[in-house]
Structure 1
Amino acid sequence: MPKFLLEVGTEELPADFVDSAIAQWQSRIPKTLDEQFLTPETIEVYGTPRRLAVLIQGLPLQQPDREEEVKGPPAQAAFKDGKPTKAAEGFARKQGVELDALEVRDTEKGAFVFVLKKIVGRPCREILRELIPQWIFGLEGRRFMHWADGDLRFPRPIRWLVTLLDDQVLPIELENGSETVTSDRFSRGHRVLHPEPVKLSQAADYVDYLRSAYVAVVQEERRSKIQEQVEVAAKNLKGHVPLYPDLWTEVTNLVEWPTAVVGQFAPEFLSLPPEVVTIVMVTHQRYFPVFKNTAAQELIPYFITISNGDPAKSEIIAAGNERVIKARLADAQFFYKADLSLPLESYLPKLEKVTFQEQLGSVRDKVARLEKIADQISEQLAFSDAERINILRAALLCKADLVTQMVYEFPELQGVMGQKYATASGEPEAAATAIFEHYLPRGANDSLPQTLTGQVVALADRLDTLVSIFGLEILPTGSSDPFALRRAANAVVNITWHGDLPINLKQLLGDIATDFVTAFPGKNSPVDLLEEFFLQRLRTLLQEERNIDYDLVNAVLGENDAEYTQRALTDLLDVRDRALFLQEIRNNGKLDEIYETVNRSARLAGQGDLNTAELEPPAVVQTKLFQKSSEQYFYDALVRLVPKTQASQEERDYHKLVEAISEIAPTVSEFFDGTQSVLVMDPDPEIRRNRLNLLGLLRNHARILGDFGLIVKR
């Protein structure tokens, strides 16, 4: 069976596009081939800075012959007085069949004309010629460009095209104005090590041909080589290189034939904070920093870079990189010394000239709001005076490093330098640490703030952003979230959960929104929008991060049930604990033991009028109306249940509640189905109401844990 190679040769592609393009082709190419009935045995997609390629093995020579049923016009439109109309003739002509091939069949929508077409399979090579331009120009990404004088767009100009079906060139032309790229069998080797064209005899040998021309087209091969060479180089230096996932991926897509090159820098630059040196190397230069050991805290004056050049010229390459890193580190050293010449607090006035958001004022204005919110959180949680002093100091200084020279040059260091400068300025350690921590988590894999001060300032920062931006009615829509409001709300919930902070989010949002409306007259309070937004975030976090089943999340958050939604917003810790507990008792089978008892009671209780907050039997049940012993037993069991329900709420120990409901289950079963069973819907309205109230009380106790009516039986 044929093997097909497509290689699109380009100028150097952006590293992130290489990964994206490979993923898109891995998804799109099999799908389009299947749609054309050309399912191959294997599809391998490759990418380097100068090429994207796909090798397809085991392609059919042509599509299989097949039959296809096509529905045409309604029978009454296709035939009149038993004779075909122009509608029938047109349909037959379009399908390439004679009129006598048309059939009339009854459908749910009436009689229609059908035709069973026999379709002869087309040759594979014809279909590939149609698909190739779709594969190339169907790729999506950022910063596509025009080149030459045509309309074609791609991340970089296309310079050559290889299309081999086994050993034959499949002729393709990509016209781009006055410039045309015509397919052939000539690829390109490494730009430096093998500048001559590479003549490909047949598709199957593509990877080996390119490897002989110093191009490793298989991504994993390049990555493995890089990792192996970096580890060897670090070992020779008696050092260690940590794992930088983004850097490994980027470097893999920046080279075609990797060579690890060791460079060094002046030991005097080790006096800089290691975060500064690391940011310069990793983010700005794509170098691997070398540490003394696996703790990755103390650097040694070396770096490892991955060259795409001639390995024989490694010394020259190293010298060039050393000149670059020396200049970058010298700049950083100058910024660091200049910044340290002033205490961190002295930078606050400069924040007045930095705009946070046009309508919301400067970053200094944001800091003032942030301080007030931090104080509101501190008051709500009844922190000590010492704790509040550190929190307010950190809140005041948390953005000051934004206007330092170091952070202006290296924005990735915001917070990091704030902590360094705060410590150098003699600020309390708790405040200095919080300046760094209040930005956490920066990304999906980051840790959360660990200190109380850092947690409170982090919450205050995000709550200010959320209330202020929602107050301007700039809401996230679809994939558009320029102020990262979803991430901010997620952080508020996760920090609260991580720190076990018993904040009343509903009250806090209300207080902050009131201050916002006062400061910005004419704006509406965003509280309702924010409450709904946070409920959505809670639902997502419980399901996706805590792996809680969707129906259990529904049970703790409710559906259009104000009692549950308000409870969730006033006590984020409780909604987390209830969801985790429900998942736990589902997994161990305890939920099944009480499910029928609670659900049957709740369904019938819904026909009564007992409010869901009532828990005390004497208040709503008249024992004088009992007619069967099962009613008295049910009543007594509910009385015993009250203290256990209260204990579960106070101690967040829902095991007691579930154990108590499990104990009451046989009593409820006797009430429904035993020898002393009763007719709940008794004709006497007082007796009926009394029995419904018994069931309603059991439902209400179970509602402390969740709405069992929303739980799906497994």
Structure 2
Amino acid sequence: MATFLLEVGTEELPASFVSEALRQWEARIAPDLKENFLEPAAIQLYGTPRRLALLVEGLPDRQPDRQEEVKGPPAQAAFKDGKPTKAAEGFARSRGVEVSALEVRQTDKGDFVFVNQAIHGRPTAEILTELVPQWIFGLEGKRFMRWGDGDLRFPRPIRWLVTLLDDAVLPLTLENGSEICTSDRISAGHRVLHPAEISLTHAQEYVDTLRNAFVEVDSALRKQRIQEQTEAAARSAQGVAVISPDLLNEVTNLVEWPTAVVGRFDPEFLELPPEVAMMEMESHQRYFPVRPAADANTLLPCFVTISNGDPAKADLIAEGNGRVIRARLSDGKFFFDADRSQPLEAFVDKLETVTFEERLGSVRAKVRRIGAIAAHVADQLQLAQSDQEAVQRAALLCKADLVTQMVGEFPELQGVMGQKYALHAGEPEAVANAIFEHYLPRGAEDDLPQSLIGQIVGIADRIDTLVSIFSLGMLPTGSSDPFALRRAANAILNVTWAANLPLNLHQLLKTVVQDFVADPAIQIADAATLENQLSDFFLARVRSLLQDDRQIDYDLVNAVLGDNDPDYAERALIDLLDVRDRAQFLQSIRQDGTLDQVYETVNRASRLAAQGSLDTQSLDAATVIDPQAFQQPSEAAFFEALQDLLPQTQAAQAQRDYRKLITGLAAAAPVVSRFFDGPDSVLVMAEEATVRRNRLNLLSLLRNHARVLADFGAIVKG
């Protein structure tokens, strides 16, 4: 069995491309080999800033010989009067066989000609020669470039190519205009620590040979070494390293032989908010900040940088990096001091110069709308006057830091700096915290806002974005969601559920759309259509979050949202807490077996009730049932069971205690079964209209009681 090595040597690649390229190769190479009847024992992928490599172990010398069945033309076209036609002869010739080797077989589409052909396996080297260029130039990514005078495109110029099958060079040439890159066994070591060329004698020696030349090609080992060195370096400075996973991944692909170096800066820069200093270090310089071991909210005046240079010159490297970060922090301190020279409110009117969306006006206009929407939410939640004032103040200031110098330099700090500047200006802590929290959650890993003021302003901000963008007809389609509207809707729902806010989203959307209609600066063609689009969008997000995040079975989600049932859809948006609770309750009673006790009875009743004319809201049997029309004791028993069930259903409606409702349905189940199948069972669809209507009404009432919880017709029996 053979080992194949491919190394594509380049000038320094973007860090993001290295990991992305290896992911693409991981998805492609094994299937390509399998398609060519080559299944290796293992495939290893390696990458550094200057190379992408793969090592394929356990390759056979050639493909196995095999029999291949090939389908040809229809028999009717291949043979006429028992003799082969030109179609048969051409097919045989194309497969390299005699006409006598053709067979006629019956298929579901008629008789066709087939041939069983012996295929001799091709040499592995020949196949690899065809696949390697596809693997290299099949990679996709951003900002590919041309170099020299050729047409080849890659993120950086390709400078060498190693293709070894065991100890033999697999001949391969990449032509790029006048530049020709021919495969060889010559690789390159570390630029500084081993500038001489490396001659690889065997594919299996690749990793060790490069390691001896101060290149760690294994990304996982390089990442582990960086983390361990960074933590040790921070300990040497009596601190703890702040290691962002994203930064760790990036730095891993910026170096080939990592060395952790501790650098320092002037303590005066610790007067900056830690978020600013960390952003300067991480975003601009790719440094790891260091904090005191006992305090996660402050920093030490030092950092850890990962050098790709000579470890013997660590002190010189540390000094140079220290000079750079001091300049960056000086800029940050200038921005910070300049921004704080005036109160945060002074920046609000400057938002007129920032466009939210060309047809929707400025961010200042958006802030006005956020304030109005936040007022609607506060009214729904019946906030005290003092809290309503805090909501309005937070809404006014929530975007003000967008036009500060610090956020202009670091957009990621929006909200963070708003909170800092608000506190500096003497704003109430609740207002300052809400400015920060209204952006939460920013991503999947973020916490949700904890303060009611922050929750309300965040909901208002996202509602405005959704209504605004939908009003322009820019609805998300497929994977395209440039305004992150799905994430905005998810945040509204998650915040509402986490904080148990009694939010009537149905009414809120209707009110906000009407406000938009009344705004002369915004043109809305059809308010009703806009409301329906927003409602459908939110219902889709409710469905997704219940199924994906809360692990509710799909049919139970259908049951609480209804199957194209506007009553259930509207009810879900009117009471978001209730739709969540009903879904979770259904899941719990499915798991404990209670659902099985009522499912068959309710479902059977619901199917027959569809043939009746009773509405879906009536619950009181006394108002719609005529006991004089009973012909069997089972009907009277059914009637009594419904009367017993009524107070339990009413309690479920009033208190959302659906356990009482399901207990009542379970108690009624034997009575309903007797109605259907007992010794005094009845024929529901009786010939006499009054009797038939009475029996259908009994079933309809049972269905209506069950509908208070869910549409049982949407539930699939387990």
Question: What range describes the TM-score normalised by the shorter chain of this pair?
Answer: over 0.9
Shift of 1:610: 2.0
**1:673 and 2:654 matched:** no
Task: Give 2:106's aligned amino acid.
Answer: D
Task: Give 1:408's aligned amino acid.
Answer: G
Q: Secondary structure at the match of 1:146?
A: coil
Matches within 5 A, 1:72-471: 72-293=72-293, 295-471=295-471
Match of 2:56 in 1: 56
TM-score computed with the length of structure 2 as normaliser: 0.97
Aligned-partner Cα distance in 2 for 1:486–1:470: 12
Aligned-partner Cα distance in 1 for 2:598–2:295: 51
Q: Secondary structure at the match of 2:359?
A: coil
Shift of 1:294: 5.5
Gaps of 5+ in 1: none
Aligned-partner Cα distance in 2 for 1:650–1:160: 75
Gaps of 5+ in 2: none
Cα displacement string for residues 580-626 of structure 1 (whole angstroms, at most 9, x for unaligned residues): 11111222222222221221221222222222112111122111112
Shift of 1:9: 1.1
Q: Secondary structure at the match of 2:240?
A: coil
**1:42 and 2:42 matched:** yes
Shift of 1:679: 2.1
Aligned-partner Cα distance in 2 for 1:518–1:116: 75
| Mapped contact 1:472–1:523 kept (Cα < 8 A) | no
Aligned-partner Cα distance in 2 for 1:614–1:118: 75
Cα displacement string for residues 517-569 of structure 1 (whole angstroms, at most 9, x for unaligned residues): 33223533321211111111111111111111111111111221111111112
Match of 1:523 in 2: 525
Aligned-partner Cα distance in 2 for 1:30–1:123: 18
Identity percentage of aligned residues: 64
Aligned-partner Cα distance in 2 for 1:243–1:103: 67
Aligned-partner Cα distance in 2 for 1:353–1:395: 18
Shift of 1:370: 0.9
Q: Secondary structure at the match of 2:589?
A: helix
Match of 1:639 in 2: 643
| Mapped contact 1:160–1:183 kept (Cα < 8 A) | yes
Aligned-partner Cα distance in 2 for 1:652–1:195: 74
Q: Secondary structure at the match of 1:419?
A: helix
Match of 1:565 in 2: 569
Aligned-partner Cα distance in 2 for 1:546–1:573: 14
Match of 1:622 in 2: 626
Q: Secondary structure at the match of 2:356?
A: strand
Cα displacement string for residues 343-395 of structure 1 (whole angstroms, at most 9, x for unaligned residues): 11111121111111111111111111111111111112221111110000000
State which drifts further: 31-40 or 692-701. Answer: 692-701
Aligned-partner Cα distance in 2 for 1:262–1:471: 53
Pairing partner for 1:585 from 581, 589, 604 = 589
Task: Give 1:645's aligned amino acid.
Answer: T
Aligned-partner Cα distance in 2 for 1:63–1:595: 58
Aligned-partner Cα distance in 1 for 2:342–2:429: 18
What is the root-mean-square deviation of aligned Cα atoms in Å? 1.4
Q: Secondary structure at the match of 1:281?
A: helix
Aligned-partner Cα distance in 1 for 2:654–2:265: 61
Shift of 1:332: 0.8
- Distance of aligned partners of 1:693 and 1:522 in 2 relative to their CA distance in 1, 3 Å threshold: closer
Match of 2:472 in 1: 472
Match of 1:556 in 2: 560
Pairing partner for 1:613 from 592, 613, 617 = 617
Shift of 1:401: 0.6
**1:9 and 2:12 matched:** no
Pairing partner for 2:697 from 682, 693, 698 = 693
State which drifts further: 381-390 or 589-598. Answer: 589-598
Aligned-partner Cα distance in 1 for 2:460–2:517: 17
Task: Give 1:320's aligned amino acid.
Answer: G
Q: Secondary structure at the match of 2:615?
A: coil
Aligned-partner Cα distance in 2 for 1:281–1:651: 54
State which drifts further: 677-686 or 46-55. Answer: 677-686
Aligned-partner Cα distance in 2 for 1:664–1:297: 60
| Mapped contact 1:242–1:296 kept (Cα < 8 A) | no
Cα displacement string for residues 145-183 of structure 1 (whole angstroms, at most 9, x for unaligned residues): 112222211111111111111111111111111112111
Aligned-partner Cα distance in 1 for 2:150–2:470: 44
Task: Give 1:500's aligned amino acid.
Answer: N
Aligned-partner Cα distance in 1 for 2:407–2:84: 80
Aligned-partner Cα distance in 2 for 1:431–1:673: 65
- Distance of aligned partners of 1:294 and 1:282 in 2 relative to their CA distance in 1, 3 Å threshold: farther
Aligned-partner Cα distance in 2 for 1:591–1:245: 45
| Mapped contact 2:380–2:503 kept (Cα < 8 A) | yes
